[in-house]
């Protein structure tokens, strides 16, 4: 049995993903709610943008450059569901403006899912972590 070859990167799609990610982070860094979180947590913006391009390339086109677990690093941050909702509110217009179909639809769907599911999971896990710490 042979494994399937990874998807071939489409330069136009990769450029669109890069434009979308950069536009989103320009908005997020300037945002009153998200800006302090992102600007306080990210020291190397060039490396972070590359990582996010790799993540979104994988999520939208199936490339395999991103190999990490995306959720755990966020547990180090102090956020609420409002942060995830604002993230969605900035991500969706960027995706709609910069991404061609079918990437646009995938990015919108993923953004909605991440804001809802990640937000709920994050809030629940942070509450559990606080309870465990208080019980010590």
pLDDT at 6: 62
**Chain-wide mean pLDDT for the chain?**
94
Burial class (CB in 10 A: 0-12, 13-18, 19+), 29: middle
pLDDT at residue 1 above 60? no
**Does the residue 6 lie in any domain?**
no
- Split into its structural domains, the chain has a count of 1
2 in any annotated domain = no
| Residues 6 or more apart whose Cβ sits within 8 Å of residue 14 | 53, 57
Residue 119 sits in a domain whose CATH number is 1.10.490.10
List, for residues 23-40, the tens digit of each pLDDT value.
999 999 999 999 999 999
Contact 122, 85 (CB under 8 A): no
pLDDT for 28: 98
pLDDT-derived band at 100, boundaries 50, 70, 90? very high
Does some domain include residue 53? Answer: yes
């Amino acid at each position: 049995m042979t494994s399937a070859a990874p998807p071939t990167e489409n330069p136009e799609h990769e450029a669109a993903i890069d434009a979308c990610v950069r536009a989103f982070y320009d908005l997020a860094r300037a945002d009153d709610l998200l800006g302090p979180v992102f600007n306080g947590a990210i020291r190397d913006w060039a490396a972070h943008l590359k990582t996010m391009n790799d993540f979104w390339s994988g999520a939208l086109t199936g490339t395999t450059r991103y190999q990490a677990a995306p959720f755990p690093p966020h547990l180090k941050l102090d956020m609420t569901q409002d942060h995830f909702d604002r993230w969605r509110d900035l991500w969706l217009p960027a995706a709609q403006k910069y991404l061609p179909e079918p990437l646009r639809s995938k990015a919108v769907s993923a953004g909605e899912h991440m804001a809802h599911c990640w937000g709920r999971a994050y809030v629940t896990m942070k509450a559990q972590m606080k309870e465990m710490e208080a019980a010590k």
